[in-house]
Amino acid sequence: MWDSTVLFAFGLTLFAGLSTGIGSALAFFAKKTNTKFLSIALGFSGGVMLYVSFVEIFIKAKDALVAELGYRGGYWATTIAFFGGILLIAIIDKMVPTFENPHEMAGIEDMVEIDEIEEHLKEMEEKQVSEHEGKRSSSLYRMGIFSALAIGIHNFPEGLATFTSALKDPALGISIAVAIAIHNIPEGIAVSVPIYYATGDKKKAFYYSFLSGLSEPVGALVGYVLLYRYFNDLVFGILFAGVAGIMVFISLDELLPAAQRYGEHHLSIYGLVAGMVVMAVSLLLFV
């Protein structure tokens, strides 16, 4: 059950999920987030995920299902599973209220900068906190907690996507894990900053940010425990096609809009194209 391939896939999923902690650390140790770099990195992640979804994952899913169900039936099953993955992640996204959804929030630079946090904390130390300030801190703390919960919900299917990809093709799994890790960094910032702003406690902010990323390896673990007895070409094909749909939705709904929000439009597009090129070259190297 737990052979080296499974452990490797689980390790990749753990790495991708816990990169929310990297975002939290960047928020605390950098005076100001490098939004241009973040824009390029998010565009790069989106390019990797879009290219690999359409060029590699969808095709592999189709090949597996065609071998099991014939060309017509396999193609239909692949297409249905692909849009089923999109529908699943869209429903999950819709279930989280807009204000509490980190994917609907303003960019981190629009919300608050770290130097503003420190100034606010000094003011709280120098004078007694008024009722209004207390309510604002409570609201920010609630925002951070619900952001952590929302990210945890979103990351659950992402964990299954990374894990399944790594099981099928370890090289492909590495590429997807890196792309999702990049995408999780600003999510870590979205969780930790409001909690730190509200409490002044870096450890607590980092803890909740770190915890939100754990849902990815949990998603991988639950999916594997439930499905490992049934892992065959048919199940892999359906899962793979669903994974492609999930990754396309994440790229179009989260990564690319966030990339443009953090920086210039062209920077996000350059990052997108660079991600596609790197993904294409890496796949060619393994042909």
Residue 108: pLDDT band with limits 50, 70, 90: very low
Structural tokens at position 47: 């390019």
Answer yes or no: is 158 a known binding residue: yes
Mean pLDDT, range 226-236, rounded to an integer: 78
183 labeled part of a ligand binding site: yes
The token pair at 233 is 């070409």
**Higher per-residue pLDDT: 143 or 114:** 143
> Is 232 annotated to bind ligand?
no
pLDDT of residue 84: 96
**Quick one: pLDDT at residue 178?**
85
CA distance 94 to 88: 10
Residue with the bigger pLDDT between 56 and 108: it is 56
Q: Which tens digits make up the pLDDT trace of 242-252?
A: 989 988 998 88
Q: Is 118 annotated as a binding residue?
A: no
* pLDDT tens per residue, range 168-221: 788 888 888 888 888 788 778 777 777 777 777 788 888 888 888 888 888 888
Contact 243, 81 (CB under 8 A): no
Please check if 155 is assigned to a binding site: yes
Average pLDDT across the chain, whole number: 77
Segments forming the whole domain that contains residue 217: 4-285
Question: Do the Cβ atoms of 190 and 197 come closer than 8 Å?
Answer: no
User: For helices 35-51 and 170-199, what crossing angle results, to 10°?
Assistant: 150
Closest by Cα among 183, 234, 162, 156 to 6: 162
Q: How many CA atoms lie within 13 A of 51 on its CB side?
A: 24
pLDDT of 107 over the 50 cut = no
> Among residues of the chain, what percentage have pLDDT more than 90?
17
CA distances to 28, 44, 82, 189 from 211, in Å: 17, 25, 29, 13
Q: Tell me the pLDDT tens digit for each residue of 59-100.
A: 989 999 999 999 999 999 999 999 999 998 888 778 765 544
* Nearby residues of 242 by Cβ (< 8 Å), 6 or more positions away: 81, 82, 84, 85, 88
Q: Residue 32's pLDDT band (boundaries 50, 70, 90)?
A: low
Question: In terms of pLDDT, which residue wins out, 228 or 256?
Answer: 256
Residue 31 pLDDT > 60: no
Q: Is the pLDDT of residue 57 over 60?
A: yes
Report pLDDT for 58. Answer: 94
For helices 20-29 and 170-199, the axis angle rounded to 10 degrees is: 40
Q: What local confidence, expressed as pLDDT, does residue 143 receive? A: 63
Work out how many domains the chain is built from and give that number: 1
Residue 103 marked in a binding site: no
